[in-house]
Chain A
């Protein structure tokens, strides 16, 4: 909350408040730990990643193309930097039910907070130039408004949310197949 940055816990809570039925695909590490901190442990539609840095947004795209439910990706800035080409892929299909949030904390938070050394890089600019709607937000209130707009508008919006680094204690289940199966069962056998 220093420097007018958003709070990742509060923003993640907003995601769950605004889209309570959404499937949420969360990046390995901090994004998943924060989601596990603020979610009901029984929330089946949290598809936590335990690995595959750089692939989280692609998972969200495949899911959005395969369900009518809302899908929200919670990715990290370092992970997006590893796989910028995915933005062009997402823009090619631009599903209405997908929203992509990038937690821009300027560090590899999960591995100890090493600097990304990428302050010269404008992630929202890259997303726009890849063919997507994109917005940068600096505080929790702005995030909440941007997220509501993103979920109500057509096509994909990428929200680059500047946050302070955090170091949660919570962890999702270590049973990775269970996480995937639980999300799948919830999306394929329930009608909501």
Chain B
């Protein structure tokens, strides 16, 4: 199975029913999996912060939700995460393509992307980094399990070594 198929299965394993997302080149494969899969209802947002709101509403309505976006997009969610999801104890599962680390060519992706694990720690959101596909499905489904049972968000950061990287590095 591809990394995106593994992740889509893990979302289903974790009981995720609603997926809110904003595209990214690497995330495109996973979005393609979930949009065509009738186990999931999907919501394309205009800004990733909205997705956090949508997932909070979904939880209050009885659904488990996941956020799919890139690390820059996760940076767009910080006020919503830290003034709603965390203090109201409303969980979601984040699956985020992490830029800014190994293989990164774009300096604009570095400050938030490379530091995203620490930024999440600072606002009280547990997270883990996945660097190879081997344990991907188990990691994502366990992340969902702990998010929904402890009622707090949890984010899985997928390195470019999992999702494949853009080959735009300077020659």
Contact = CB atoms under 8 A, between A and B. Distances in A.
B43 A86 contact: no
Contacts of A166: none
B57 A66 contact: yes
Would you call the interface of chain A mostly helix, strand, loop, or mixed? helix
Interface in B1-51: 17-18, 20, 41, 43-47, 49-51
A89 interface: yes
Given A51-B84, A61-B43, A56 B60 contact: no
Contacts of A180: 56, 59-60, 88-90
Q: How large is the interface on A (under 10, 10 to 19, 20 to 34, 35 or more residues)?
A: 35 or more
Contact of A187 (B20, B45, B53, B62): B62
A74 to B, nearest CB: 14
Contact of A88 (B46, B53, B54): B46
Contact of A52 (B58, B59, B80, B151): B80
Contacts of B17: 66
Contacts of B90: 180
B52 interface: yes
A186 B80 CA distance: 24
Contacts, number: 134
Contacts of A145: none
B150 interface: no
Given A86-B46, A89-B43, A93-B43, A59 B18 contact: no
Contacts of B53: 52, 55-59, 61-62, 86
Identify which of B17, B53, B65, B80 gathers the most chain A CB atoms within 10 Å of its CB.
B53
A153 interface: no
Interface of B: 17-18, 20, 41, 43-47, 49-63, 65, 79-80, 82-84, 87-90, 151
Given A51-B84, A58-B51, 20 more contacts: A52-B79, A53-B79, A55-B52, A57-B53, A59-B54, A62-B18, A62-B54, A62-B56, A62-B57, A63-B60, A66-B17, A66-B62, A66-B63, A71-B57, A85-B45, A86-B53, A89-B45, A177-B87, A180-B89, A180-B90
